[in-house]
Structure 1
Amino acid sequence: MTGTGAMSALHRDGHLVLRDLLTPAGCRRIREELTPLLRPAGRDPFRSRHTHRVYGVLHNTRATDPLIDHPGVLALVDRLLLPNFLLSQLEVVEVGPGAPARPPAYDDRHYPVPRPRPALSVAALWTLDPGTTLTVWPGSHRWAGRHPATPGVLLAPPPGSCTLLLGTLWHARPPQPSLPSLTVTAHYCEPWLRTREAFLLSPGRDVARQLSARTRRMLGYSIHPPELGLVDGMHPHRLFA
């Protein structure tokens, strides 16, 4: 799909599946590196005994670095959010067989700005396993205050794909079938918003030195004009001099 076609689909549906961005070998490698870091089930916001997570992803592994600043994905996010947009959260989640459904929600609901409105965030969900499914309500990113009242559309993004979800799109997780599903989700937000994770504190400056310049900017080592993000009155990138 061309850039124009991809943007048209995103604006129409509120979601877009970008296929074949990772090879099968690439998916296996990332999974192998992440699996030892998965925490015991139950320690997550949904208190699910079926769900394992990696906390402090950037502090613990470089496996997800190429996903955060993937040029094909960021080329689309660049057209959805303002320049200097931030990485708001990085999630690594394995949903095990038998996990119950998760109810409908939209990602940037924690920002108290009335709907309808443009999305303040964009999620990039990377699929590593064939058991990944989610339910979406196409066009719901344009809704005002209403909730989903009809069944949504089931998506099964193939391994190696990245699914973009506008922050105002209603989506849910259906019951997990017999296979586990490991996903990596990078949440990006407008540069003038507070992020979900305090990336300037963790992973910290030493780890940030190992990351690409683009990723460092998305962690907050950047300035949003005229002067949001200063450190001692100067650009925070001077911290790496």
Structure 2
Amino acid sequence: MSALLAIAGTRPLRRRHRTIAQLREQGFCLMRQMLPQAIVEELDQDIAERFLDTPFCEGGFYGTRTKRFGKLLIRAAHARLLAEQPAIVAIARDLLEPHCDTIQLNVCQAIEVHPGEIAQVPHRDQDMWHGPKGTHEYLLNVMWPMTPFREANGATRLWPRSHGEAALAPPPSKAGVAIECEPGDALLFLGSTLHGAGANTTTTPRRAIVTGYSLGWLKPYENPWLAYPPDVARHFPASLAALAGYSQHRPNLGNVDGQCPSRLLEPDIEDHVAAIDALTPDQQAMVAEHVARERSDRT
């Protein structure tokens, strides 16, 4: 897997900065040829086969002519490659980590939009969370086409510059832009960017995988500990396990018995353990000063 990561993915720092600038300016960015065609073909074969037995979604939001399934890290070969694509994870960290201690994998899901599906309601994924909007980003989404994206087959529609503070304004009256792209490309868009799947007016489905990264202190869209319980996650690389929820977010958030949940991935787990501080540097300094003062007063 490490060799595949090297093949798939490191892009120059200059490209990363340019991508971040575009995300901040217009709310989305298309990165071309981020995956080798051989990997795309294998991924598409994996999800196409599983979609055969996956029923259509229920409800107007997901779409009644659309199929979706998660748990992709264990259901599709090389899905881990998407989740840990180095250049994109670096972009997610640059965008999100000013507002959190660490990022997390918010979703890793396969989507198949069938002929006859209507356009999805325009929405912003940040509205999953009820916190204040317009001050910082909650997540970064990445759409990976497995089949060509065309306006006619339901390519993702995006509303340029509808992100950030603009998300507080009424929705734009004009139509969004259908982003046409190819398998191997990566379409990045912010959680505050207005978007939605288009209508599929063709005779064939269009397929994609969406990965997303959110602030580490949020409850993620896909419950990672149920999707990837410890007996599954212990076979992940440590970096992927951390993205999938087996990481403590300072201060002390998401712990198990006062320790990082990654301890659940160890072969021999002690039942009686000591809770251990996991604080940010400023909190650690504040606590150390307090402890020193208290001890000094006692002497």
Q: TM-score range by the shorter chain?
A: over 0.9
Amino acid at match of 2:36: T
Percent sequence identity over matched residues? 26
Match of 1:16 in 2: 29
Partner residue of 1:231 out of 247, 256, 262: 256
Query: Does residue 41 of the first structure (1) align with residue 66 of the second (2)?
Result: no
Amino acid at match of 1:139: R
Report the TM-score when normalising by structure 1.
0.92
Q: Deviations over 1:78-112 (max 9, x none)?
A: 10112421112221011112211112111111211
Contact 2:39 2:78 in 1 (8 A): no
Separation in 2, partners of 1:21, 1:69:
12
Higher strand share goes to which structure? 1
Partner residue of 1:164 out of 188, 197, 206: 188
Contact 2:63 2:120 in 1 (8 A): no
Q: Secondary structure at the match of 1:160?
A: coil
1:146-161 equivalence runs, <5 A: 146-161=170-185
Unaligned runs of 5+ in 2: 1-13, 267-299
Amino acid at match of 2:87: G
Unaligned runs of 5+ in 1: none
Partner residue of 2:198 out of 174, 180, 202: 174
1:42-121 equivalence runs, <5 A: 42-43=57-58, 46=61, 48-82=63-97, 83-121=101-139
Contact 1:86 1:190 in 2 (8 A): yes
Higher helix share goes to which structure? 2
Which structure has the higher relative contact order (CA within 8 Å, separation 6+)?
1
Q: Structure 1 residue 43: deviation in Å?
A: 4.6
Separation in 2, partners of 1:47, 1:220:
25
Contact 1:115 1:145 in 2 (8 A): no
CA RMSD of aligned residues (A): 1.8
Separation in 1, partners of 2:175, 2:133:
21
Contact 1:118 1:168 in 2 (8 A): no
Separation in 1, partners of 2:189, 2:92:
10
Amino acid at match of 1:165: F
Q: Secondary structure at the match of 1:163?
A: strand
Separation in 2, partners of 1:52, 1:116:
32
